[in-house]
Amino acid sequence: MPKRGKKKPRKIKFFKKNLKIPESQNKLLRLFCATHHTTENKVFRKALREFLQRNVHLIEHPHHVVSPNQLTLFDFMVDENNQTGT
C-alpha cells in the first residue's frame, strides 16, 4: 500500500489593524520590547489575547430563536389525550 503524503496545514486568515499611539507611549513600547527581546506586534497580540480572555463573559452570544413548528417536527404519532409523541 502506498504511503500517504502529509496533510497540508490549514490556511489561517490574518487581518491588518491600524493603531495610533502617542510618541511617549511609543518610546516606552520600544524600551519594553528591547529589554524583553520581543517585537511590538507580539506585545500587542499578547495584550489583546489576555484582554479578550478576561472579558469573554461580556460578549453577547447570539441565541437562535426556535419557531414553534420545530418543536413538533419529529412527533409523528401524537396521542390527543396526553399530547405526547410516541
Q: What is the mean pLDDT of the chain?
A: 83
pTM of this structure:
0.56
Q: Which three cell numbers stand for residue 5?
A: 503524503
Q: Residues in the chain, how many?
A: 86
37-77, pLDDT tens digit by residue?
A: 999 999 999 999 999 999 988 888 777 776 666 656 566 66
Which of 11-20, 24-33, 58-67, 69-78 is least confident? 69-78
Check pLDDT > 70 for residue 31. yes
Give the C-alpha distances (Å, rounded to integers) separating 69 from 37, 64, 66. Answer: 60, 14, 8
Can you give the pLDDT at residue 81? 59
